[in-house]
Chains A and B, each alone.
Chain A
Amino acid sequence: MTATTSGQLDPAGATGSDTLLSVRGLEVHFPIKRGLLIDRTIGHVRAVDGVDLDVARGQTYGLVGESGCGKSTLGRAVLRLEEPTAGDVVFDGTSLRELTGEAMRRMRKRMQMVFQDPMSSLDPRQSVQSILTEPLRAHLREGGRTAWDKRVLELLEVVGMPSSAAAKFPHEFSGGQRQRIGIARAIVLNPELVIADEPVSALDVSVQAQVINLLEELQDRLGLTYLVIAHDLAVVRHISDRIGVMYLGQIVEEADSDDLYAKPLHPYTISLMSAIPVPDPDIEDRRERILLAGDLPSPANPPSGCRFHTRCPFRQPTRCHDEVPALVEAVPGHRVSCHWAKEIAAGRITASEAAHDPTAEAAPD
């Protein structure tokens, strides 16, 4: 959303006075167990490995990255659908880590999630009416049937579904319509924060735009704050004010959408952007594609030093393989974790020859 609509925030955003969500040092490590009779833990999959981010009220923060980067796990950890193994999530001043059972349950009505797969995110046995009423029943004692029925009709209208949908079941709808139902469910309790985990990637191209527009409209209308998680950089750029790029469990670059697109600083972001196909033959012909070598390393065994160095087209002989780069502000409001970001930006370091060869191999770890 443009900065002129919901929330007059300073573009540097992050630590403004109206921070709704604040994540510090978040880690989610999954134990790898092996054993015959008793399972022993032989290692950890470090899905999220130390993430700091802030989302200001009314803003949209986009989290982008490819599979294995940990973005979905991060989204779930923020809502404590996955338990963080370290670090904290502070929502509107309250630390979520310290909340127990019932208190956490009640906190949930302020933060909701929209899921990726419209087919599996709705209980096939529940009518739409029931899907939308159940959260009301779980959190509000008073209200009663009539008030709730009215709310259901209201919600259906807001998400662009006919009122006849209430009596139907999920399998009677198309993917896009199911996603609308999922969105209606996410806003039924009037949350402040909505985390959208790949909200459009399972939808047909011609329907994606409809859902994206709906999300933006709802944000305007209801003053929502969004954390959008996606692998499609074009979608994320369109909808977000601020973007964080994730690789192997960490944020490697963070900036306002326009800044990130105009001047990406991290080699991974640069490669990611050059990899996205653009529906314009002239641009496609002219552009210089920077290819990454090899495959994603295992999150159970991340490379030493800079995690990206094994595939980095700008890798240098010093510092990259043994020194971990810190996420620092290179330019106000623009954080990046790369030892050589300034040199790359100035053009003093360029992509290696291998970056244009589709058969190149990755560096050994």
Chain B
Amino acid sequence: MPGPSEEYPWGLDSTGVDLQTQIVFGARQSLLIGVVSTSLGLSVGATIGLLAGGFGGKVDLIVMRFVDILLSIPSLLLAVSIAAILGQSQTSVMIAIGAAQVPIFARLLRGSLLQQRASDYVLASWSLGLRRRTVVMNHMLPNSLGPVIVQATLTLATAIIEVAALSFLGLGDPNPSAAEWGRMLVQAQNRLQSDPHLALLPGICIAVTALGFTLFGEALREALDPKSRR
């Protein structure tokens, strides 16, 4: 493929479109996908985890069996099935990936809550006669969010790549020229020998974005930790 020139600073990609434009527009798409699908997974998963871990008993049992079933299906397979049902579009891909994340977040938050439930300060809250909702929402939940935040940042990065995999299988946005980093990576596969930059550039972008989110997550976790305030 033609390399960098005056008109096209980074050259053209395999479909003949300006690489730079693709990268920039791809950023928008990839970030959108990453954030939406992770938010979906987080919100639904955390709600399930909260119900199971905060209230326990029968709710916990039933809900977690359901989650276990979901978890036993490989995430990619799950995503593919959902995308196939919902039809070929960007939205269905995001929902599919989000859905695959739900059991992970549910289990994580539930585990964290169970751990907190065993601590003395929770017991102290019961003995003070605080209402259950207060104990779960004001005490157990804030102390359980640490691992969830970390997981969310990891998920953001992998979501971008998973979308690419789905595109590769033909389940994403049907428009072949829609810019998206994952797809660019996939498309650059047959030209790795001749034009490695076609894969390297989107690859680096994904890596840097992932790093950025991870660092953000770390900072967020630290900012929320009262111990690091002094």
Contacts and interface: CB of A to CB of B under 8 A. Distances in A.
Direct A–B contact in complex, judged by CB atoms less than 8 Å apart? yes
A321 interface: no
Interface string B88-130: 0000000000000000000000000000000111011111111
A221 interface: no
Contact of B143 (A81, A107, A123, A134): A123
B123 A81 contact: yes
A142 interface: no
A113 B120 CA distance: 11
Contact of A115 (B123, B130, B142, B230): B123
Interface residues of A, number: 30
The 6 closest A-B pairs by CB, nearest first: A108-B129, A121-B120, A120-B120, A135-B128, A123-B121, A105-B129
Q: Tell me the dominant secondary structure on chain B's binding face.
A: helix
A79 B126 CA distance: 10
B134 A138 contact: yes
B227 A124 contact: yes
Interface of B: 119-121, 123-131, 134, 139, 142-143, 226-227, 229-230
Interface of A: 76, 79, 81, 105-109, 112-113, 115-117, 120-126, 134-135, 138-139, 169, 171-172, 182, 185, 189
A79 B124 CA distance: 11
A11 B139 CA distance: 43
B130 A138 contact: yes
A257 B226 CA distance: 44
B129 A106 contact: yes
A81 B226 contact: no
Contact of A134 (B119, B127, B130, B226): B130
B126 A125 contact: no
Contacts of A171: 226-227
Given A115-B120, A121-B120, A125-B142, A169 B229 contact: yes
6 contacts: A105-B131, A106-B129, A109-B129, A121-B123, A135-B128, A171-B227
B120 A125 contact: no
A135 B129 contact: yes
A172 B124 contact: no
A169 B143 CA distance: 14
A280 B198 CA distance: 82
Contacts of B131: 105, 138
